[in-house]
Amino acid sequence: MSYQDIDEQSLAELCSNADTKAGDELYRRYAARLMTLCRRYSSNSDDAKDLMQETLVKALDKISSFQYRGEGSLYAWISRIAINRAVNDIRRHRWRFIPLGTRFEDMTPEPTEQDMSCIPREKLLDLISSLPAERRAVFNLYCIEGYSHKEISKMLGISEKGSAGVLAKARKQLKEKINEEVGRHN
């Protein structure tokens, strides 16, 4: 049997039966994409690799609870495990938010499409990864994963306004880093 040719539902079933070759195939199929996701939530490559490996181990351990919902649902399920692990780690460290007593106006110029096209994807991941943990988490959850501030507030145990404030600071910091990268200063 060629494991490369089986659909993800069959792959999940084989993994739930402790088929080691199926586990190897799961790793082959999803490790690179999962590493990219983990890199966004981690401050460095080693932490991202640890998160990816912990996620895959947990996924294989819990694969019998996976419910197939169509093509792509296995990766979606695995990525949700990674996000939950990253968010739980952040919550465990009990980071604090400073209440936004005053509004701040971000005067940092927005990077242009041309600016963005000059920066390699790996460098953008590095810039996101260089954000402090809480900013990185809120940025990823809101901008990349598509969660609302209400959902993020429940996940992280903060207020919706706190989530919005952290996102504003993350966006400002990223804009500054991107502008610095392309040699544009405000």
Q: Give the C-alpha separation, 121 to 143, whole Å.
A: 16
| Whether 119 contacts 101, CB under 8 Å | no
The residues of the chain scoring below 70 in pLDDT are 1, 93-109, 184-186
User: Mind listing the domains of the chain with CATH numbers?
Assistant: 3-92 (1.10.1740.10), 113-181 (1.10.10.10)
Q: What is the pLDDT of residues 38-50, one digit of tens each?
A: 998 888 889 899 9
Instruction: Classify residue 93 by its DSSP letter.
Output: T
Encoded tokens for 2: 């060629």
| Whether 78 contacts 34, CB under 8 Å | yes
Instruction: State the amino acid at position 117 in one-letter form.
Output: S
Q: What is the pLDDT of residues 18-39, one digit of tens each?
A: 999 999 999 999 999 999 999 9
